[in-house]
């Protein structure tokens, strides 16, 4: 009898153990950044599915798709600024590489989407290498202005080539991509980009870039090649911006170069810069969240409030105030804010514990 009981309890214990092991595994998965990114992508796909089937309003989906497309550029910028300590204001021009590759390859030459992406990447690598070489000679604010000039060259080039570009529905792997379903592609590409970036940051390459950011002289003394990593940082940033352009074209289907608030204008570069600063310039999640504030908040959330619907300029005004407040009081961005809140909550919990159980003297 006794033996039986113990056996029974042993079985129970095993089940319990298995249960805790499972929850531990799930907790581990939630802490693992790759899984976080995958879950995020899945959530986006669910939102897209609901929007396509008209459960939630369509404007929500298009706002999110735009945010995701821009946040690819923001993540590239994050890597450039937060990890390599370089800044560029060329994002607008670099986004154009993607949109025009899509237009010329798919619409004019009738080739596939994959080729468009490859061409966009190749062109952006060349441009990135050029900017990287320039960055070896010029630094800081001057580099910002120079990349701004480069972006203007590209914008004038686009205006001279073809001012307004449009694409129609296209096929990927035999599936027709309509404008409504573009969010799936953007979500997949964004998750892939996030995973690649996270691994890059944690690799020796990321550490070398961080060393370079803190002191170029010290990094060189430690045997880090300045040319190699600066070029790499700019190539990645430019390539991400180009992919972001491809995705914007997939979402929006049209672009105008001479538009003062369009994709390639100075305001885009500044918005991406602001997004990365607001979100926290060392965090991928921060970049995505900052981009949401700059691009998605208005279309997805604030437009539903009636007062703001009538006066959309109030949103512009408030976002400006918000940007200034974040920069002045939280230079680390929202990532820093959340980090500090976490610390405060932890302190609060330990205090509560002390009140309940007495002070831990051990």
Partner 1 sequence: MAYFLNTIMGSIAPMCVTALVTLAITLIFKTSYTTNFAQGVISAFGAYMVAYFLNQKGLPIWASLPIGMIVSMVIATLIDVLIFRRGRYVNALGKQIITMGLISIIVGAIPLIFGIAVPQFTAFIDGTLSAEIFDGSVTVTKNALVCGGITIVVIVAIFVALRFSKWGLSVRATASNEYVAGMMGINTHIVTAVSWGLAGALGALAAAINASSGNTVGIYFMTNYQVYAFLAGILGGFSSFYGPVVVALMIPLANNLVQYFVNIAGAPEMTKWSMVIVYAVALVIIFFKPQGIFGKRIAKKV
By the rule CB under 8 A, 127 interacts with partner 1 = no
Listed ranges 138-146, 188-196, 238-246, 334-342: which one lies at the site for partner 1 (CB under 8 A): 138-146
Q: Of 169 and 215, which CB lies nearer to partner 1 in the complex structure?
A: 215
By the rule CB under 8 A, 226 interacts with partner 1 = no
Rounded Cα gap, residues 27 and 24, in angstroms: 5
Question: Residue 94 burial by CB count (10 A; 0-12/13-18/19+): exposed, middle or buried?
Answer: buried
In 3D space, the residue among 356, 97, 117, 125 whose CA is nearest the CA of residue 235 turns out to be: 125
End-to-end, the C-alpha distance of the chain in Å comes to: 43
In 3D space, the residue among 13, 53, 23, 77 whose CA is nearest the CA of residue 276 turns out to be: 77
Listed ranges 39-47, 68-76, 147-155, 243-251: which one lies at the site for partner 1 (CB under 8 A): 147-155
> Where do runs of H (alpha helix) occur along the chain?
2-31, 33-52, 58-78, 84, 91-102, 113-137, 141-161, 182-202, 204-214, 216-221, 226-252, 266-279, 284-291, 297-300, 306-310, 313-329, 333-357
Sole binder of partner 1 in the list 18, 307, 321, 361 (CB under 8 A): 321
By the rule CB under 8 A, 227 interacts with partner 1 = no
Q: Is 292 helix (H, G, I), strand (E, B) or coil?
A: helix
Sole binder of partner 1 in the list 134, 192, 210, 302 (CB under 8 A): 134
Q: Of 86 and 208, which CB lies nearer to partner 1 in the complex structure?
A: 86
In 3D space, the residue among 96, 100, 76 whose CA is nearest the CA of residue 86 turns out to be: 76
What is the nearest approach in angstroms of partner 1 to the Cβ of residue 51?
Answer: 28
Sole binder of partner 1 in the list 52, 159, 177, 301 (CB under 8 A): 159
Q: Of 314 and 348, which CB lies nearer to partner 1 in the complex structure?
A: 314
Listed ranges 101-109, 156-164, 224-232, 244-252: which one lies at the site for partner 1 (CB under 8 A): 156-164
By the rule CB under 8 A, 317 interacts with partner 1 = yes
Sole binder of partner 1 in the list 138, 305, 341, 348 (CB under 8 A): 138
Rounded Cα gap, residues 282 and 46, in angstroms: 28
Site size for partner 1, by CB under 8 A? Answer: 46
Site for partner 1 in 324-343 (CB under 8 A): 324, 327-328, 331
DSSP 140-151: THHHHHHHHHHH
Residues that bind partner 1 (CB under 8 A): 81, 87, 134, 137-138, 140-142, 144-146, 148-150, 152-153, 156-157, 159-160, 217, 260-261, 265-267, 270, 273-274, 277, 311, 313-324, 327-328, 331
């Amino acid at each position: 009898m006794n033996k039986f009981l113990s056996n029974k309890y042993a079985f129970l214990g095993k089940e319990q153990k298995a249960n805790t092991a499972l929850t531990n595994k799930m907790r581990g998965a939630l802490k693992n950044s790759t899984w976080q990114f995958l879950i995020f992508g899945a959530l986006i796909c669910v939102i897209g599915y609901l929007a396509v089937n008209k459960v939630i309003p369509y404007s929500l989906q298009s706002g999110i798709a735009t945010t995701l497309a821009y946040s690819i550029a923001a993540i590239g910028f994050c890597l450039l600024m937060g990890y390599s300590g370089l800044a560029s204001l060329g994002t607008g021009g670099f986004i154009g590489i993607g949109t025009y590759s899509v237009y010329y390859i798919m619409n004019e030459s009738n080739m596939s989407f994959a080729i468009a992406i490859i061409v966009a990447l190749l062109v952006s690598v060349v441009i990135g290498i050029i900017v990287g070489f320039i960055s070896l000679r010029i630094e800081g604010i001057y580099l910002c202005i120079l990349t701004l000039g480069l972006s203007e060259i590209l914008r004038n080039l686009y205006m001279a080539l073809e001012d307004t570009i449009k694409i129609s529905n296209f096929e990927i792997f035999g599936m027709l991509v309509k404008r409504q379903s573009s969010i799936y592609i953007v979500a997949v590409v964004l998750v892939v980009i996030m995973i690649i970036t996270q691994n890059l940051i944690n690799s020796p390459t990321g550490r070398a870039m961080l060393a370079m950011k803190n002191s170029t002289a010290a990094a060189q003394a430690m045997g880090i090649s300045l040319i190699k990593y600066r070029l790499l940082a700019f190539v990645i940033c430019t390539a991400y911006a180009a992919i972001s352009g491809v995705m914007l074209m997939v979402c929006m289907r049209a672009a105008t170069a001479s538009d003062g608030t369009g994709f390639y204008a100075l305001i885009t570069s500044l918005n991406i810069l602001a997004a990365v600063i607001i979100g926290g310039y060392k965090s991928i999640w921060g970049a995505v969240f900052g981009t949401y504030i700059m691009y998605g908040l208005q279309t997805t959330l604030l437009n539903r409030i009636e007062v703001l619907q009538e006066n959309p300029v109030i949103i512009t005004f408030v976002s400006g105030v918000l940007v200034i407040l974040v920069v002045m009081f939280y230079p680390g961005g929202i990532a820093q804010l959340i980090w500090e809140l976490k610390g405060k909550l932890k302190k609060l919990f330990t205090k509560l514990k002390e009140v309940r159980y007495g002070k831990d003297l051990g």
